[in-house]
Amino acid sequence: MDESAVRDLLRRVEDPDLGDDIVSLNLVNDVSVEGDTADISLALGAPYSPHETQIANRVRAVLADEGLEANLTANVDDDLSADEQILPNVENIIAVASGKGGVGKSTVAVNIAAGLSQLGARVGLFDADVYGPNVPRMVDADEVPRATEDDTMIPPEKFGVKLMSMAFLVGEDDPVIWRGPMVHKVLTQLWEDVEWGHLDYMVVDLPPGTGDAQLTLLQSVPVTGAVVVTTPQAVAIDDARKGLRMFGRHDTNVLGIAENMSTFRCPDCGNEHDIFGRGGGAKFAEDNDMPFLGSIPIDPSVRTGGDEGKPIVLDEDSETGDAFRVLTENVANNVGIIKRRTQQ
């Protein structure tokens, strides 16, 4: 079978999100056939996302039906040449944002990072919440970064996630009063002087609001997309709207809206109670024409997980863990949609 015959076969593989086959969608970069093996390069950009895994499995199955073994690689060609980029070895940058504090933004960032790592991806978690860095506590990081002879830092790892946080440098309890230019300088150093290695995803926990750190991030690194965290009440949603506008002004994709503290899952009676209202996040997403990523209930074990350093997404027996796993999968799938759309 020759290359064009293989390309024809690949027309049988549908993209689960973009509504056409992968050849028509320009997602097949290269095909070469040698004996019973076809080397195929696909324009897939969200490693370990369920939908891209599904595409890859389907490609293997379609070729196997014709007695061919598929040897797959993935590469999305996105205009930026390596030397133009900051963080050239980081494939996707996911910013986690909220309009205001206390809605669970850091909790969501930590659980998405741990959830992506659990799926098999290489993940970094960058705590850019310079005013209240608390990620090291949430994951109970027992190590601090190590300095190398070249004055770079090796980030500690937890659950397979590489971590970097202002808290490593200034301590969690020191109130940090930063002015704009300092925020810019410190954040830039933390990106550039850290040995992140190759990452499939870097999850960035932004400070709440629309201040200097957010702007530094949007101006200096290629953010693939943002997750906007809100609670269902109207006030939190008004703040989330400001966040959306900020991303809109910078042409940053929004991966979707995550609703935290949706209902209260009562450990005593087993029932769910609406405390902050219900469905606000989904409606907000719909009104703004954004994907809705999922709802996370108020569950005391989210907080104890945060205090004890074990993200609940890693707890296989927890229903709230399930909710975080769904959220993580939706985030990864939506990263894939953004990446594959660049090929159109």
| Interacting residues toward ligand ADP by CB under 6 A | 98, 101-107, 134, 260-261, 296, 298-299, 302-303, 306
Q: Are strands 123-127 and 28-34 parallel, antiparallel or unpaired?
A: unpaired
Question: Measured from the CB atom, is 200 or 299 closer to ligand ADP?
Answer: 299
Instruction: For residue 162, give the DSSP letter.
Output: E
Question: Measured from the CB atom, is 47 or 104 closer to ligand ADP?
Answer: 104
Contact 52, 44 (CB under 8 A): yes
Question: Measured from the CB atom, is 115 or 336 closer to ligand ADP?
Answer: 115
Question: Measured from the CB atom, is 190 or 296 closer to ligand ADP?
Answer: 296
Q: How far is the CB of 208 from ligand ADP (least distance, A)?
A: 6
How far apart are alpha carbons 154 and 168 in whole angstroms? 12
SS3 at position 66: coil
Q: CA 68: distance to chain centroid?
A: 34
Question: Measured from the CB atom, is 42 or 95 closer to ligand ADP?
Answer: 95
SS3 at position 250: coil
CA-wise closest residue to 38 among 76, 5, 77, 12:
5
- Residue carrying structure tokens 């990864």: 332
Q: How far is the CB of 40 from ligand ADP (least distance, A)?
A: 41
Q: How far is the CB of 308 from ligand ADP (least distance, A)?
A: 10
Q: How far is the CB of 323 from ligand ADP (least distance, A)?
A: 9
| Residue 29, phi then psi, degrees to nearest 5 | -75, -55
Q: How far is the CB of 114 from ligand ADP (least distance, A)?
A: 13
DSSP string, 204-232: EEPPSSSSHHHHHHHHHS---EEEEEE-S
Q: How far is the CB of 256 from ligand ADP (least distance, A)?
A: 17
Q: How far is the CB of 115 from ligand ADP (least distance, A)?
A: 14
How far apart are alpha carbons 71 and 219 in whole angstroms? 38
Question: Measured from the CB atom, is 127 or 329 closer to ligand ADP?
Answer: 127
How far apart are alpha carbons 45 and 55 in whole angstroms? 12
- Residues 6 or more apart in contact with residue 128 via CB below 8 angstroms: 166, 187, 190, 204, 205, 206, 207, 213, 217
Question: Measured from the CB atom, is 294 or 306 closer to ligand ADP?
Answer: 306
